[in-house]
Amino acid sequence: MDNMELIAAVNMLEKEKGIDREYMMNAIETALAIAYRKSSPELKDADVVVKINRENGFSKAYKRFTVCEEPENLGECSVEEAREINPEYEAGDVFMEEIDPKPFSRIAAQTAKQVVLQKLREAESGKLYNEFRKKENTVTTGIVRRIDKNNIIVDVGDFEAVIPPSEQIEGESFNPGDKIKLYIAKVNKRNYGPEIIVSRSNSGIVGKLFESEVPEITDGTVEIKGIAREPGSRTKIAVYAENPNIDPIGSCVGQRGTRVQAVVDALGGEKVDIIKWSEDPAEYISASLSPAKVVSIEVNEEEHICNVLVPAFQLSLAIGKEGQNARLAAKLTGWKIDIKPEENVSLEF
């Protein structure tokens, strides 16, 4: 490859693969320096530096020296020696001495090639990492490829992602080719490329799905105030609109329930309760126990607990199967909730 072919190749990598031109030029300079040291025994321990002209591709090689009071290796020279070149050199200064290295040996050329290829892989890996890092905490669509040691491997475009067991929903199963919604929970940097951890169980997927289905959430008219979820079973989501003319629950439900149904379908049929948030704890807690109706409620703000009275016939509805409704309400509101049937309880603390 001649000089201009080198420049053309680097320009092509930048254009087609998005790899920074300066990054690749630096990588080639590093590779050439390694090759020169391998080809010339007298340069084996020297600090060799190669500089490539970014316009015409011509290169020059140098030995780099650090000026020291007492030199200890080949990359150092004494103050006296340095001042023979330039009387102004002081200890700690660095200077370059141009060299005319021998042609590359076969081994040196192979080494240079390996260095460039490694840098190219690192650049591509870094580019993918940066792209996916920006997508953390967003929702994407993936295609199931295979099951590998309890991990579900999914295609998320140009790369494969992993749903580890901890991010799966118990009882949910998929087949290769299935399209599913996924929450990009974490992107880790690895030598071989980014490790993308996606989730079906993370509560963040609920908020992002509503955001994609409800324009009022996207533009900030409606705000998600909280989410409590037991993945695969049920979710409670609290929403709020500052404008009193806007119905936050209606916005999330959509005409004939189309918006919330799209979210439910993406979650595999998981039940979703949409709650109206209120800064009044009593109102918020009452709403959080939906679909049960609250007769009365007393709150103890100091201890952050409340006593709730519900009709006797709705006690099981308020508590929910295995306590789920009450548990989610407590998680959503952050209050300890004590639920009792109307005819049997005094609301005194």
Q: What is the dihedral of CA 192, 197, 198, 203, to 10 degrees?
A: -160
Predicted confidence at residue 334, as pLDDT, reads 95
In the predicted model, what is the mean pLDDT of residues 216-237?
A: 96
How many H helices and E strands in the chain? 11, 15
Range of lowest pLDDT (95-104, 195-204, 259-268): 95-104
Of 115, 132, 149, at which residue does a domain stop? 132
Give the residue numbers spanning the domain of 155. 137-199
Q: pLDDT at position 72, please?
A: 78
Structure letter (DSSP) for residue 44: T
CATH number where 300 lies:
3.30.300.20
pLDDT: which is higher, 182 or 64: 182
Tell whether 9 and 84 lie within a shared domain. yes
What three-state secondary structure class fits 260? helix
DSSP collapsed to 3 states, 79-144: HHHHHHHCCCCCCCCEEEEEECCCCCCHHHHHHHHHHHHHHHHHHHHHHHHHHHHCCCCCEEEEEE
- Taking the model in full, what pTM does it have? 0.70
Q: Characterize 5-32 residue by residue with b for buried, 16 or more Cβ atoms within 10 angstroms of its Cβ, and e for exposed.
A: ebbeebeebeeeeebeeebbbebbbbbb
54 shares a domain with 12? yes
CATH number at residue 194: 2.40.50.140
Looking at 112, 132, 152, which one is the last position of a domain?
132
Report whether pLDDT(138) > 70: yes
Number of compact structural domains in the chain: 4
Write the pLDDT tens digit of every residue in 287-344: 999 999 999 999 999 999 999 999 999 999 999 999 999 999 999 999 999 999 987 5
Contact 273, 291 (CB under 8 A): yes
Q: Work out the average pLDDT over 115-135.
A: 80
pLDDT of residue 347: 47
Residue 345 is predicted with a pLDDT of: 46
Residue 290 to residue 292: CA distance in whole angstroms: 5
pLDDT band at residue 107 using 50, 70 and 90 as cut-offs: low
Pair 9, 123 in one domain: yes
Q: pLDDT tens digit string along 261-272? A: 999 999 999 999
Find the mean pLDDT for residues 200-206. Answer: 96
Cα 142–Cα 197–Cα 147 angle in degrees, nearest 5:
60
Q: Are residues 208 and 311 in the same domain?
A: no
Tell me, yes or no, whether 282 lies in a domain.
no
272 with 293, same domain: the answer is no
Same domain as 165, residue 127? no
Residues 6+ apart with CB under 8 A from 78: 67, 68, 69, 70, 71
CATH number for 18: 3.30.1480.10
Torsion, Cα of 303, 309, 310, 313 (10° steps): 120
Residue range 10-23, pLDDT digits in tens: 888 788 777 888 88
Burial status of residue 67 (CB atoms within 10 A of its CB: 0-12, 13-18, 19 or more): buried
12 and 76 co-located in one domain? yes
Evaluate whether residue 284 is within a structural domain.
Answer: no
230-255 average pLDDT score: 96
CA atoms within 13 A on the CB side of 255: 0
Q: Are residues 111 and 175 in the same domain?
A: no
